[in-house]
Amino acid sequence: MPQWQKITTCLWFKDEAEEAVDFYLPLFDDSRVTDVQRYGEAGPGEPGTVVTIAFELAGQEFLALNGGTDFPFTEAVSLIVNCDSQREVDTLWEKLTADGGQEVQCGWLKDKYGLSWQITPRRLTELLADPDPAASARVMRAMLGMKKIDIATLESAHRG
C-alpha cells in the first residue's frame, strides 16, 4: 500500500497545470510526477486534456488542477522555500522570476503563473532569532528594504 501524505496542497491553474509542473520539477531535487488524470468522453473538458497532475517537489506532494479562471492565485497563500545558501537563493530567484515572474519584497516573488513564493535563507531566520533585540531589529530593517534576500547584507546589519 502506498504511503500517503496527510495534507496535500492543490494549486488551481487556469489551463496550464501541465506546463507549470514541467517548469517546477527541475527546480528541486527529489521531484517527479506521480499521477496524471485526463478528461474522458464525459467531459467537462476536452477528452484527453489534463484535469489534474499529482507531483512532488523536494519530496513534498502537490496537486495541480486545470480549473479555469474562477480562482486566480493571490499572496494569501505562498510556498516557502528554506534555502541553505546564497547560491540556492540566487538560483531559485532567477528561475522563478524568469519569463514574466515578478520580484515583490522581503524574499517574496510571483512566478509567471502568479503563484507566490518566499525564497528564505535559513540564515535570515537565525539572525532574526538573535536574543539581542538591537541586532535582530537591524536585520529586520535590512530585510524590509530587500526584494531578493542577500545574506551578506543581513550579516553586516546584524553586526551593526
Q: Do 156 and 78 share a structural domain?
A: yes
Number of domains the chain is built from = 2
Residues 6-58 pLDDT 10s: 999 999 999 999 999 999 999 999 999 999 999 999 878 889 999 999 999 99
Task: Identify the bridge partners of residue 103 per DSSP, sorted by sequence position.
Answer: 109
- What's the domain range around 77? 73-160
| 86 φ/ψ angles, rounded to the nearest 5 degrees | -65, -35
Angstrom distance (rounded) from CA 49 to CA 37: 9
Residues 60-103 pLDDT 10s: 999 999 999 999 999 999 999 999 999 999 999 999 999 999 99
Q: Do 136 and 61 share a structural domain?
A: no
Angstrom distance (rounded) from CA 138 to CA 140: 5
CATH code for position 79: 3.10.180.10
Q: Do 90 and 61 share a structural domain?
A: no
CATH code for position 21: 3.30.720.100
What pTM did the predictor assign? 0.92
Q: Do 29 and 80 share a structural domain?
A: no
Last residue in a domain, options 38, 69, 100: 69
Q: Do 91 and 46 share a structural domain?
A: no
Q: Is 87 helix (H, G, I), strand (E, B) or coil?
A: helix
Q: What is the secondary structure of 40-100 as a DSSP string?
A: -TT-SS-TTSEEEEEEEETTEEEEEEE--SSS---TTSEEEEEESSHHHHHHHHHHHTGGG
